[in-house]
Amino acid sequence: MGGGSDDHRKITWVDCNTICGSKEVGGFGVRRINEFNIALLGNWCWRVLTKSSSLWFRVLSARYGMEGGSLKGGGREASLWWWDIYLLCRDRWFNDHVERSLGNGKHTLFWSDVWCGEVSFKIRFSRLFELSAFKEVSVFDMSQLWWGEEGEAWRWRLFTWEEEEVGELTLLLHNVHLQVHRVDRWLWTIESSNVFSFQNAYNYLTVHPPLVSLVPAASLWHKDVPLKVVLFAWRLFRDRLPKEQFFHRRGVLDRGCGSIESSQHLFLHCNIFGVVWHFIYRWLGISAVIPAQVQNHFN
User: Can you tell me the distance from the alpha carbon of 234 to that of 225, in angstroms, rounded to the nearest whole number?
Assistant: 12
Sequence spans of domains, the chain = 33-91+196-205, 98-188, 217-298
Residue 222 has pLDDT above 50, yes or no: yes
pLDDT at 130 over 80: yes
At residue 93, the pLDDT reads 86
The pLDDT of residue 43? 94
Contact between residue 110 and residue 121 where contact means Cβ atoms under 8 Å apart? yes
Nearest to 201 by CA among 19, 29, 43, 28: 43
Per-residue pLDDT at 45: 93
- Stretch 204-230: mean pLDDT, rounded? 64
State the average pLDDT for the chain.
Answer: 75
- Backbone φ and ψ of 109, nearest 5°: -75, 130
User: What does the pLDDT read at residue 212?
Assistant: 45
In angstroms, how far is CA 20 from the centroid of its own chain?
A: 14
Highest mean pLDDT among 109-123, 223-237, 252-266: 109-123
State the pLDDT confidence band at 152, using cuts at 50, 70 and 90: confident
